[in-house]
Chains A and B, each alone.
Chain A
Amino acid sequence: GESVGLHLPTLSVQEGDNSIINCAYSNSASDYFIWYKQESGKGPQFIIDIRSNMDKRQGQRVTVLLNKTVKHLSLQIAATQPGDSAVYFCAESFNQGGKLIFGQGTELSVKP
């Protein structure tokens, strides 16, 4: 079936460095992608999204890149802070009632 997956299950970075979290998707018909952050004991929180007609979108300290040719999505976090430590999920939408298909998640650990 269709799936969204992540290349790296864990990522450890030094405070102040940039972080890159990667995600692969398999359905070329997906037209909407989202990154979520989940802290321990909490539900996922929206970070940034991108539609398939774009290849880059920037937010505050975060950038999402979409490469439709290789079906790859990445989340870049600039100047990573201890508060960024969490599990990050990518998700794709087929625009079918708003259902989101989630990847397995990458745990980001920021060392002070």
Chain B
Amino acid sequence: DAGITQSPRHKVTETGTPVTLRCHQTENHRYMYWYRQDPGHGLRLIHYSYGVKDTDKGEVSDGYSVSRSKTEDFLLTLESATSSQTSVYFCAISELPGTGYGYTFGSGTRLTVV
């Protein structure tokens, strides 16, 4: 998707290892979000950021941490990966809160924890 890049696109990792997913944007949007997508649950918010070094928890934040040291990068870290964190992770950006049109999603990272 234009303006937002997630890396890696796919990753397989072992239980107990740390994992960091990266979201990079070139739109200079203020708001960035991390969602996970699982069958039967749709997309659930993990963490979000409303500015550099300003982050907050979403509905499924346990086991995850985030950092945003620059406007363009939002990192999601699994400190010690568990099998329950096997999922597809999506990053999203927006400039105006509550404006779906300005909400752009990345292509996702498929994470498998074995």
Q: In the bound complex, how far is the Cα of B17 from the Cα of A35, in angstroms? A: 36
Residues B48 and A99 in contact, CB atoms below 8 Å apart = yes
Given contacts A32-B98, A43-B1, A43-B108, contact A98 B103 (CB under 8 A): yes
Residues A102 and B97 in contact, CB atoms below 8 Å apart = no
The answer to whether the Cβ of A91 comes within 8 Å of any Cβ in the partner chain is yes
Q: Mark B83-114, 1 if CB is under 8 A from A, else 0.
A: 00000001010101111110101111000000
In B15-58, the 8 Å CB interface with A consists of 31, 33, 35, 40-45, 48, 50, 56, 58
Cβ-neighbour of A99 out of B1, B33, B90, B99 (below 8 A): B33
Q: In the bound complex, how far is the Cα of B56 from the Cα of A49, in angstroms? A: 25
Given contacts A42-B107, A43-B107, contact A97 B43 (CB under 8 A): no
Residues of B within 8 A of A100 (CB): 43, 45, 100, 103
Residues B50 and A97 in contact, CB atoms below 8 Å apart = yes
Residues B103 and A99 in contact, CB atoms below 8 Å apart = no
Residues B108 and A46 in contact, CB atoms below 8 Å apart = no
Closest to A4 in B: B42
Closest to B95 in A: A98
Interface size on B, residues (CB 8 A): 29
Residues of A within 8 A of B41 (CB): 104
Cβ-neighbour of A89 out of B1, B43, B99, B106 (below 8 A): B43
Interface size on A, residues (CB 8 A): 27
Q: In the bound complex, how far is the Cα of B107 from the Cα of A94, in angstroms? A: 25
Could you give 25 example pairs across A and B, Cβ below 8 Å?
A: A32-B98, A34-B100, A41-B107, A43-B90, A43-B105, A43-B108, A44-B43, A46-B101, A49-B100, A89-B42, A91-B43, A91-B100, A93-B98, A93-B100, A95-B98, A97-B97, A98-B48, A98-B94, A99-B33, A99-B48, A99-B97, A100-B100, A102-B35, A102-B43, A102-B44
